[in-house]
């Protein structure tokens, strides 16, 4: 259920500030969004997998905290991330 190395590299190139940037909030949010989408698909098939549901809720909360941080520090980047990742507010 993790992001493959190739997919992670693509996300870093697309959202990172440099080619090796993996720690900026934009990259972390994009990776979490990808993992959330995968986990959502898994839970639609396995409805009683409550352990994975808990993990999903933790990922959503972490992404929310990162988005709140970006919103405080750079509101324009926040709006851009919401649009590029198709995250509803």
pLDDT tens column, 65-87: 999 999 999 999 999 999 999 99
CB proximity list for 40: less than 8 A, separation 6 or greater: 56
Rounded CA-CA distance 43/53 in Å is 7
Domain CATH for 61: 1.10.287.10
Is the entire prediction scored with pTM above 0.85? Answer: yes
Identify the CA nearest to 41 among candidates 52, 51, 30: 52
* Half-sphere exposure of residue 64: CA atoms within 13 angstroms, side-chain side: 8
pLDDT tens column, 35-68: 999 999 999 999 999 999 999 999 999 999 999 9
Q: What is the largest CA-CA distance in the chain?
A: 41
Q: In the chain, how many domains are there? A: 1
Domain around 81: 5-85
């Amino acid at each position: 259920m993790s992001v493959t190395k190739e997919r992670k590299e693509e996300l870093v190139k697309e959202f990172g500030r440099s080619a090796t940037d993996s720690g900026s909030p934009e990259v972390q949010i994009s990776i979490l969004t990808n993992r959330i989408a995968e986990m959502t698909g898994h839970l639609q098939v396995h409805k009683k997998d409550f352990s994975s549901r808990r993990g999903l809720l933790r990922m959503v909360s972490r992404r929310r905290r990162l988005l709140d941080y970006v919103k405080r520090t750079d509101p324009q980047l926040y709006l851009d991330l919401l649009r590029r990742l198709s995250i509803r507010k």
